[in-house]
Homo-oligomer: A and B are copies of this chain.
């Protein structure tokens, strides 16, 4: 069975050496001393490796079962969920007035990585709840906040997001679920929603559904969509639970993975709901959840890649097969370990350089969110808004690829379920799809985010790269800064191509949208590796007591630069071929 060890040392390095969190003028960051974060990470790591990771395969094997309208979660999930509640993990970054601990998002992010790595399916029950609570926090009335948040912050009640219907996923304007105004100010919600994560389960007293629906007679399409709070059990004035609401799980989907998470068809039959936020502004309110959810999904890409890598690495060190081409390395054994072989090493280095780089990228993104929220910094808000589709789309595409590569290290055993490597790929696959399929992320990036605020944020990003390169022009940094500069130049050339051609023909830009998203992801990770190289070069120059750690960082940075970053030129060439190759056929010529 695979195992998981929380990468606390690397997390500490990123938080303190790279991001230097206590130096940042963000409220709450001054408390994030090295010892304090170490204590949190160690504690959370323990819970994840000892309790949740062993349940990962249980969840996969048993799955969720629907019987008589009740969904039974896998053996051990309920007790483990109680442990998450007891530890206060779910509300780490939630306001204290509702039972949270008001910690910065960046530290919550570190714990989220562990949850997403040890047991992605399990983590989603709390993840969805966090998203729903955030939406109520941002858009709810004082009454709504008081009614739901104290219970939701620590997952006594869990939450859901209800968007998709059988005939509409991305195009929510086609939605048919209706919300009819009632005399008491509530709405009667009727319709069917599909793919509802944690829509029904046995781990919480109540489930608070956030449901998109249309009020009859409202504006057509997406402009007529509103968001509603629909609790599974109605809540009495005194906070106690009342009657069962008119919402039920009709079916559990048979999925490729994340079997421990119930994915429900939810039927709303005149269920009582209350408007959350403004009338017909449902998408705006939903986006509060979705941006957070998208970052969380990007995290799943990294997290599954990391746990898969940990196990692939252990196997590569343990499994004896063949001899090193440069001479026997394990003379006492019948063969050398897999890790001596260059192609296995390439595979492992791909994984290592991705996961460590992606971790820095996401943690940096989390500091932008803190800066945006805690300091009301519009520039940081704009930058993270630009980065969100990259974090979601690029990290899940690559994260999935890395789980497949990790599986490959196991040879035939990787294809056998009992070794556990298959589950990582099956679970990671969904992250490329939900919360906006990655093609939609690319469209969001190129069709919307690039031009947002007159292109201010993407220009700020280029400026940031440029000024980093300028500040680190010393020779020791050349192996890192040189490739970063080139990749950034490629990215700018792609942006220029879009500007020059996209106005005339939007397809010329959109045909290259996925390529652009990948280029930008590479440049972001390269920037992170260059920053880490700076830190580790300095540490070595200053006589760090842990030179091996920093030398390993430098070697891994050089790997990313040499072996991953050349992808930007390929993406640029594809982009510059424009719309014609992509749109060359009429639909009926296929």
Chain A interface residues (CB < 8 Å from chain B): 164, 167-171, 173-174, 194-195, 253-257, 313, 317, 320-322, 325-326, 334-335, 337, 339-349, 352, 400, 404, 407-408, 411-412, 414-418, 422, 425-426, 429-430, 432-434, 437-439, 442-443, 447, 505-507, 510-511, 513-514, 548, 551-552, 555-556, 558-559, 561-563, 566-567, 569-570, 573-574, 577, 579-585, 587, 589-590
Give the distance in Å from the alpha carbon of A245 to the alpha carbon of B423 in the complex.
38
Residue numbers in B under 8 Å from A548 (CB-CB): 589
Q: Which of B256, B334, B577 contacts A415 (CB 8 A)?
A: B256
Residue numbers in B under 8 Å from A439 (CB-CB): 341, 343-344, 347, 408
Q: Which of B343, B510, B587 contacts A513 (CB 8 A)?
A: B343
Known: A555-B585, A569-B569. 5 other contacts (CB 8 A): A257-B415, A325-B507, A346-B582, A414-B433, A558-B580
| Chain A interface mostly | helix
Give the distance in Å from the alpha carbon of A505 to the alpha carbon of B439 in the complex.
42
Give the distance in Å from the alpha carbon of A543 to the alpha carbon of B331 in the complex.
70
Using CB atoms, name the residue of chain B closest to A195.
Answer: B412
| Highest count of chain B CB atoms <10 Å: which of A194, A447, A506, A510 | A510
User: Given known contacts A322-B170, A347-B439, is B587 in contact with A559 (CB within 8 Å)?
Assistant: no
Give the distance in Å from the alpha carbon of A325 to the alpha carbon of B511 in the complex.
11
Using CB atoms, name the residue of chain B closest to A443.
Answer: B343
User: Given known contacts A256-B415, A415-B255, is B511 in contact with A346 (CB within 8 Å)?
Assistant: yes
Q: Give the Cβ gap from A455 to chain B, nearest Cβ, in Å.
A: 19
Give the distance in Å from the alpha carbon of A513 to the alpha carbon of B412 in the complex.
21
Q: Are A416 and B254 in contact (CB under 8 A)?
A: yes
Q: Are B582 and A349 in contact (CB under 8 A)?
A: yes
Give the distance in Å from the alpha carbon of A258 to the alpha carbon of B513 in the complex.
34
Q: Are B552 and A585 in contact (CB under 8 A)?
A: yes
Residue numbers in B under 8 Å from A514 (CB-CB): 343, 346
Give the distance in Å from the alpha carbon of A532 to the alpha carbon of B581 in the complex.
17
User: Given known contacts A344-B439, A439-B347, is B584 in contact with A559 (CB within 8 Å)?
Assistant: yes
Q: Give the Cβ gap from A328 to chain B, nearest Cβ, in Å.
A: 13
Q: Give the Cβ gap from A508 to chain B, nearest Cβ, in Å.
A: 9
Q: Give the Cβ gap from A258 to chain B, nearest Cβ, in Å.
A: 9
